[in-house]
Amino acid sequence: MHKEIGEKINELRNSKDMTLKELSEKTSLSVSFLSQAERGLTSIAIITLQKIAEALGVDLNYFFTAPAAHRPMIMRSYEHEVFKASESNHINTNLGSQLPNRQMDPLLVTILPGQKPEDIQPYEHQGEEFVYVLEGIFTVFLEDKQYDLYPGDSMHIPSTIPHNWANFTSKLVKILSVSTPSVLK
């Protein structure tokens, strides 16, 4: 168990390009202790592991779950991560797992009501996007045109086309969005 936890600490720290010294400064734990922990040569108290988890930006449970490569790729509804940028007008629910080298990010997007046309600025990026409207009237801007999509309608575009979306109604809009990674985050 010590070795598996140590390997996870090492993997996570390296994936964040963090040195042992930087982790030491964030946790107030010595570099030598962290080095021994990563090699599985010492046991780690839960309170200490919690400090490490916080410094690495993960939940404590991360160290006690099976690695993604060995875990079934099933995500239960209670496992979905919900996130919203503070200035954002939509709430994203991550529907996918963090597969290494994944090619798409599936999200349930709830778009809050009350946007104004003057607030919508088209943008473009690499990749592609697929959207399926679940609820409400979803307004899409593609190049210089505006389209209203209704439940059951869908859109699949190369993301290099100037685009954006909005909710000009007084009700929530819900869409299933599948895009290349990091498009909507």
Give yes or no for residue 5 having a pLDDT over 70: yes
What is the rounded distance in angstroms from the CA atom of residue 120 to the CA atom of residue 29? 48
Predicted confidence at residue 149, as pLDDT, reads: 97
Residues 137-167: pLDDT tens digits? Answer: 999 999 889 999 999 999 999 989 999 999 9
What is the rounded distance in angstroms from the CA atom of residue 173 to the CA atom of residue 151? 9
Q: Region 114-137: what's the mean pLDDT?
A: 89
| Its pTM surpasses 0.75 | no
Model confidence band, residue 125 (pLDDT cutoffs 50, 70, 90): confident
Percent of the chain with pLDDT over 90: 44
Q: Region 89-115: what's the mean pLDDT?
A: 82
SS3 state at 8: helix
Domain boundaries, the chain: 2-64, 77-179
Cα→Cα distances 82→28, 77, 92, 109, 127, Å:
31, 11, 6, 10, 23
Instruction: Map tokens 């060995």 to a residue.
Output: 70
Residues 52-89: pLDDT tens digits? Answer: 989 998 888 777 765 555 445 777 777 777 776 556 78
Between the two ends of the chain, the Cα-to-Cα distance in Å is 34
Pick the CATH number of 77-179 from 3.40.50.300, 2.60.120.10, 3.30.300.20, 3.40.630.30: 2.60.120.10
Model confidence band, residue 184 (pLDDT cutoffs 50, 70, 90): very low
Q: Please give the class, per CATH, of domain 2-64.
A: mainly alpha
Percent of the chain with pLDDT over 70: 88
What is the rounded distance in angstroms from the CA atom of residue 27 to the CA atom of residue 50? 9
